[in-house]
C-alpha cells in the first residue's frame, strides 16, 4: 500500500468495486517487553503512545492504559479526528506539533523507522521518544503487552484484564467478535458490491445476535469481571448508533433496540475508564468527514441524542465485580479529559 493512498483509522484499504472489503493487517510487530527481547525493554518515560479518540482500535489502548494506571509510565499524544491522504496530524496541539515528539504528522515517526515505509500510517502507534521512530502499530498485541509486560508499572488495584485461567475463552470470543463485529462493520461500510455488502450485513447481525443472547444472562463477556474482551467489543458498540448504523449501512437494528447489548454498553460506559475516554464529537467528525467516498458532502449529522448513555442499566442484578479484586481508576489526569461537548459525561 502506498503511503499516498487515502488511509483511515483502521489500517485497512478502501472498498474495491466488485469486491469485499479486506483489511491490510501488515503491522509493525516489534514488541515492547519486560525482558526487551525485541530490543525495546519496558522503561517508564521512554515511549509515547500516539492515539486518536476517533479510532476504535486506538480507543482500546486508551482505555487499557487508563484502567491499568499507566499514564505516568507511558505518555500519550492525541492526533486530531481528521487527516489527509498522507497521515494523521497533531492539529489539536499548539502549533500543530506533538509537544513531546515535535512532529506535525505521525508519518514522520513511521519514516524515522523506515524511510521507505509504504504501509498504512495508523493509530495506535507507540513511538520510541529517543529515536522518534515508531516501535509498533500492532494494536491487537499492544493491549496484551500493556497487560502482561508492563505489570511493574501498573497502579495499585489495577484489574487483571487477561487472567490466565480465562485466556483461551477470551481469545475465542475475541476472534469471533473481531471477524463478525469489530471488522464486520467495516466490511459493510466499505463493501464493493451488493453481494459483498449483503454477506457482511448477515455476518454482522449474526454476531450481534449471538452477543445479545450471551449477554442476556451474564454481565460481562468472559467470567464475572471486565476483561480484554469487553474492551474490544465496547469500542465498536459505542460507535454503533453514532456512525455505523447510518454511515456504514449497518441498519437492521440500532444498538438502543438490542436490550442486553444496550444495557451492557451503558454499564461499561458508566464504568470509570470507559465513557470518560469517549469523544462522540471527534468520532462523528472522523467518519463523516474523512470517508468522502461514502459521504461526499462531508456533512456531520447532528444526532443521535447521547443522553441515553447515562440512563440506569440495571446490569448489577446479574452480579459480577467490574474490577475483580482491584479498584476503579482514579480521576482522569489533567490534560486528558474529554471536552464537555464530546461526551454526555462532560
Task: Report the binding-site residues for glutathione.
Answer: 88
Q: Give the separation between CA 41 and CA 22, rounded to whole angstroms.
A: 33
Catalytic residues: 55, 186
283: left (phi over 0), alpha (psi -120 to 50) or beta: alpha
Question: Does the N-terminal peptide bond of residue 124 adopt cis geometry, omega within 30 degrees of 0?
Answer: yes
Which phi and psi (to 5°) does residue 36 adopt?
Answer: 65, 30
279: left (phi over 0), alpha (psi -120 to 50) or beta: beta
Q: Kindly state the cell numbers that stand for 295.
A: 459521504
Q: Give the separation between CA 199 and CA 278, rounded to whole angstroms.
A: 30
Q: What angle do CA 209, 212, 216 make, to 5 degrees?
A: 150
Q: Kindly state the cell numbers that stand for 75.
A: 505518555
Q: Give the residues across from 48 on adjacent strands.
A: 75, 127
As annotated, the binding site includes 88
SS (H, E, C) 171-183: HHHHHHHHHHHHC
Amino acid at each position: 500500500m502506498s503511503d499516498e493512498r487515502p488511509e483511515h483509522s483502521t489500517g485497512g484499504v478502501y472498498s474495491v468495486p466488485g469486491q469485499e472489503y479486506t483489511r491490510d493487517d501488515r503491522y509493525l510487530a516489534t514488541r515492547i517487553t519486560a525482558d526487551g527481547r525485541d530490543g525495546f525493554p519496558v522503561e517508564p518515560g521512554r515511549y509515547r503512545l500516539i492515539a486518536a479518540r476517533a479510532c476504535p482500535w486506538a480507543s482500546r489502548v486508551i482505555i487499557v492504559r487508563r484502567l491499568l494506571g499507566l499514564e505516568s509510565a507511558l505518555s500519550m499524544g492525541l492526533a486530531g479526528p481528521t487527516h489527509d491522504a498522507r497521515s494523521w496530524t497533531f492539529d489539536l496541539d499548539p502549533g500543530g506539533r506533538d509537544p513531546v515528539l515535535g512532529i506535525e504528522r505521525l508519518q514522520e515517526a513511521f519514516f524515522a523507522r523506515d524511510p521507505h515505509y509504504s504501509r498504512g500510517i495508523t493509530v495506535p502507534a507507540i513511538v520510541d521518544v529517543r529515536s522518534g521512530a515508531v516501535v509498533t502499530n500492532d494494536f491487537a498485541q499492544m493491549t496484551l503487552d500493556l497487560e502482561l509486560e508492563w505489570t511493574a508499572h501498573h497502579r495499585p488495584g489495577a484489574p487483571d484484564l487477561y487472567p490466565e485461567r480465562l485466556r483461551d475463552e477470551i481469545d475465542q470470543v475475541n476472534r469471533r467478535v473481531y471477524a463478525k463485529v469489530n471488522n464486520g462493520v467495516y466490511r459493510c461500510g466499505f463493501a464493493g458490491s451488493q453481494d459483498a455488502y449483503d454477506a457482511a450485513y448477515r455476518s454482522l447481525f449474526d454476531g450481534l445476535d449471538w452477543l445479545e443472547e450471551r449477554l442476556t444472562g451474564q454481565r460481562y463477556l468472559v467470567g464475572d469481571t471486565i476483561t480484554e474482551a469487553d474492551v474490544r467489543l465496547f469500542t465498536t458498540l459505542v460507535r454503533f448508533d453514532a456512525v455505523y448504523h447510518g454511515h456504514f449501512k449497518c441498519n437492521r437494528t440500532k444498538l438502543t433496540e438490542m436490550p442486553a447489548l444496550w444495557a451492557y454498553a451503558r454499564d461499561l460506559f458508566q464504568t470509570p475508564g470507559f465513557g470518560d475516554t469517549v469523544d462522540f464529537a471527534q468520532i462523528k467528525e472522523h467518519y463523516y468527514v474523512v470517508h468522502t467516498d461514502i459521504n461526499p458532502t462531508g456533512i456531520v449529522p447532528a444526532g443521535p441524542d447521547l443522553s441515553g448513555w447515562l440512563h440506569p442499566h440495571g446490569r448489577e442484578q446479574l452480579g459480577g465485580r467490574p474490577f475483580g479484586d482491584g479498584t476503579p481508576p482514579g480521576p482522569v489526569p489533567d490534560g486528558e479529559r474529554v471536552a464537555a461537548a464530546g461526551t454526555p459525561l462532560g
